[in-house]
């Protein structure tokens, strides 16, 4: 994966490795949300340790050579302009139909008022935009990868 890290991402990962002594390679470089504004808003929740989970349609991992995220995977997380901001570690991944996601997971995602109602309303909007953009039909029966994670390093944030 580090062969895919270039420029500022590679420099950031090198800083992470030097600061932590962790020699692992990143699973990937990612951001949360589908607009620069949403990327920044959700990143702020990660950096404050409010957001400790994310939900991704499982279909996106079908063509990923690494498959689903696995506990221990490290991800370099960026802001809405693509600047690296932190490193997270996957703790747990459960795949289920969207309709089976529960209130605890919604709380762990840390968005809005952290309620299930907020979570399902906003995620349906997000996934419906995704479905329209990518040409598939949205349904609450689609599989979702519910990933719990922890922030392990953010150089500009207090511990």
The answer as to whether 158 is a domain residue is no
Counted domains in the chain: 1
Contact 16, 52 (CB under 8 A): no
The answer as to whether 37 is a domain residue is yes
pLDDT reported for residue 134: 95
- State pLDDT tens for residues 120-154: 999 999 999 999 999 999 999 999 999 999 999 99
First to last CA, the chain: 27
pLDDT reported for residue 5: 81
The answer as to whether 63 is a domain residue is yes
The answer as to whether 157 is a domain residue is no
Residue 17 sits in a domain whose CATH number is 3.10.400.10
Strands (E) across 41-131 are located at 53-57, 74-78, 84-97
The answer as to whether 159 is a domain residue is no
- State pLDDT tens for residues 48-83: 999 999 999 999 999 999 999 999 999 999 999 999
Burial 92-126 (b: 16+ CB within 10 A, else e): ebeeeebeebeeebbbbbbbeeeeeeebbeebeeb
pLDDT reported for residue 156: 77
Strands (E) across the chain are located at 28-30, 53-57, 74-78, 84-97, 143-153
What range does the domain containing 15 cover? 2-152
- State pLDDT tens for residues 2-34: 446 888 999 999 999 999 999 999 999 999 999
């Amino acid at each position: 994966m580090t062969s895919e890290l270039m420029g500022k991402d590679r420099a950031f990962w090198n800083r992470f490795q030097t600061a932590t002594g962790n020699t692992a390679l990143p699973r990937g470089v990612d951001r949360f949300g589908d607009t620069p504004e949403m990327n920044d808003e959700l990143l702020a929740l990660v950096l404050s340790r409010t957001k400790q989970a994310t939900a991704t349609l499982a279909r996106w991992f079908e063509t990923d050579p690494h498959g689903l995220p696995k506990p221990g995977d490290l991800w370099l997380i960026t802001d809405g302009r693509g600047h690296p901001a932190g490193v997270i570690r996957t703790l747990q991944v459960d795949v289920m139909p969207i309709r089976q996601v529960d209130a605890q997971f919604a709380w762990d995602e840390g968005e809005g008022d952290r309620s299930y109602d907020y979570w399902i309303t906003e995620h349906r909007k997000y996934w419906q935009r995704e479905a329209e953009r990518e040409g598939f039909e949205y349904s609450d029966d689609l599989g979702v990868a519910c990933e719990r994670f922890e922030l392990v390093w953010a150089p500009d944030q207090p511990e």
